[in-house]
Amino acid sequence: MLDVDTFLTTLYVAVDDYCQTVPATPQPGPRPALAPSEVVTLALFSQWAEFRSERAFYRYAQRRLRAAFPTLPHRSQFNRLVRHHQELLAGCALHLAHLLDIAQASYEVLDCLGLTVRHLRRRGHSWLAGIADRHWCSRLGWFFGLTLLTAVSPEGVITGFGVAPGATNERPFTDDFLALRHRSDPSVASVGRPAPSQTYLADSGFAGAAFERHLRQAYGVTLVASPQRGSLRRWPKAVRRWAASHRQIIETVHDRLLQTTRLERERPHTLDGLLARLAAKVGLHNFCCWLNHQLGRPLLAVADLIDW
């Protein structure tokens, strides 16, 4: 178990090592109060569930972290800096994943997660009107919000993620996600790189013979998805159990995002703010996996990582 200062120092060193490799982007106006590596470090650290909100984290930072970050600006300016460095946050999050040598993974797991923006029956327009919409998922039932697609290694490291309106079907969402990976589009760093083996496991929501054939022909991807109920394709019971057990890791990762990084409590007002905070949550998750690996602990053992 690490104390907060040791954890924060280790996090800053890892983030700064990455930021040194990224060319600085010119920014008009006065020089920002915080360097990019300081913004990314604070953004990642602020996602812990111990801070019940952004306000709670900033009160903690002003009281406890002022010595480490003497130029800490007003909270509104810090939030603008976090949104400005959204792509840097995403790049750093996935860089931390590649420090764990995920290139050796024989497959990756894909799954979607519903993100609530506001109460389903609340009146009036939402902050994300036109982007969020009404949909159903097994975890929430009917909800109003967005859908998060994640790719996860067999050890639980997040290798890529993307967000779409809540009612987006898994198959076209996955098609766009894998197309961006295939093209290695630098403007969408959050999707990550193609899986080294080009093999993905998924549940029956992604299944479809024509869709799987399209992915194989267009991107060289092999999608192993459990056949839907009523499908002519039948898997033996042992194969279904094998696939379900190997997909279970992504449920554990989603639980870490929802609880440990308080994604369950997020109620975003803007899309860029959501994407920046989501990248920070993924970055914190991957950093904890990397740190646990360095300490010889199970990668997903984060509950007792810091002595608060």
Domain ranges of the chain: 104-268
Strand residue runs (E) in 94-248: 108-118, 133-137, 141-152, 158-165, 199-202, 222-225
Contact 153, 97 (CB under 8 A): yes
Q: 91 is written with which tokens?
A: 């790049």
Instruction: Please list, residue by residue across 215-242, b when 16 or more beta carbons sit within 10 angstroms of its beta carbon and e when fewer do.
Output: beeebebebbbbeeeeeeeeeeeeeeee
Return per-residue pLDDT of the chain as tens, 308 residues: 889 999 999 999 999 999 999 887 777 778 888 999 999 999 999 999 999 989 999 999 999 999 999 999 999 999 999 999 999 999 999 999 988 877 778 999 999 999 998 877 777 777 787 788 888 888 888 888 899 999 999 999 999 999 999 889 999 999 999 999 998 877 788 999 998 889 999 999 999 999 999 999 999 999 999 988 777 788 888 998 999 999 999 999 999 999 999 999 888 888 899 999 999 999 999 999 999 999 999 999 998 899 88
Contact 143, 135 (CB under 8 A): yes
Q: 28 is written with which tokens?
A: 């008009």
Q: Which pTM does this prediction carry?
A: 0.93
> Which residues lie closer than 8 Å to 145 by C-beta, 6 or more apart?
114, 115, 116, 117, 118, 132, 135, 166
Q: Which residue has the tokens 């700064």?
A: 16
Q: 284 is written with which tokens?
A: 């914190």
Number of Cβ within a 10 Å radius of residue 116: 19
